Amino acid sequence: MRRQRIDLPSFRVRAAQGTAFMVTLLALVLLTFLGLSVSVISGTERQIGNNQLTEQRVFYAADTGLSLGTARALTTRNLSPATFTLPDPDPSALAKRSEIAVSRFLEINRQPCNLCDVANYGQKQVSEFWDVTFTAISGATRRVGPGDVEVANKVVTAMREFQPWQDADSAKLQRLDPNKGTFETYD
């Protein structure tokens, strides 16, 4: 048997070499486009995460304002508006801070205190105690940089029930005398 040699036309060999180059170039362009897309998407996701973190910080700052107002009302009977400034706990931050404004605590409900009889051991109360519900609004603003640029703002509204509540003008310190079973009022 004799082998026969088959010659392929030369144009097919040159076309195959050009096709490999084009496929490689196309794959390189697609991978570059894919890499740039992932880079843009990850940068956008990072910005979204930073914005959510800022919004959470402002929300919790407004909630802290309500807690500070509540503590002030309970300890000093001061129901007037107040403002607070919370510096950023992050030392690398560029002059970031949260400014908090708490409204006046407004009384929306007052009724006799149903816990006072228990607290007074069933005896008649020496002074008037109440179950009082207040409402208040706290707004927080996050400011950044030397120009005090506002980057976020949140408002929180809450109702707080204080019981037993004694009005500021009638609030006097009282102590139970265990020997007599009565209350003594003193300054």
Is beta strand 182-186 parallel, antiparallel or unpaired with respect to 173-177? Answer: antiparallel
pLDDT at residue number 96: 80
pLDDT digits (tens, 9 = 90+) for 35-56: 999 999 999 999 999 889 889 9
| Residue pLDDT, tens place only, 76-107 | 888 999 998 888 777 666 668 889 999 999 99
pLDDT tens figures, 129-187: 788 899 999 999 988 877 788 889 999 999 999 888 877 655 444 444 556 655 555 44
| pLDDT at site 8 | 56
pLDDT at 27 over 80: yes
Of residues 160 and 117, more confidence is placed in: 160
pTM value? 0.66
| Distance in angstroms (rounded) separating the CA atoms of residues 138 and 155 | 6
Query: What b/e string do you get for 10-31 counting C-beta neighbours within 10 Å, with b at 16 or more?
Result: eeeeeeeeeeeeeeeeeeeeee
62 pLDDT tier (thresholds 50, 70, 90): very high
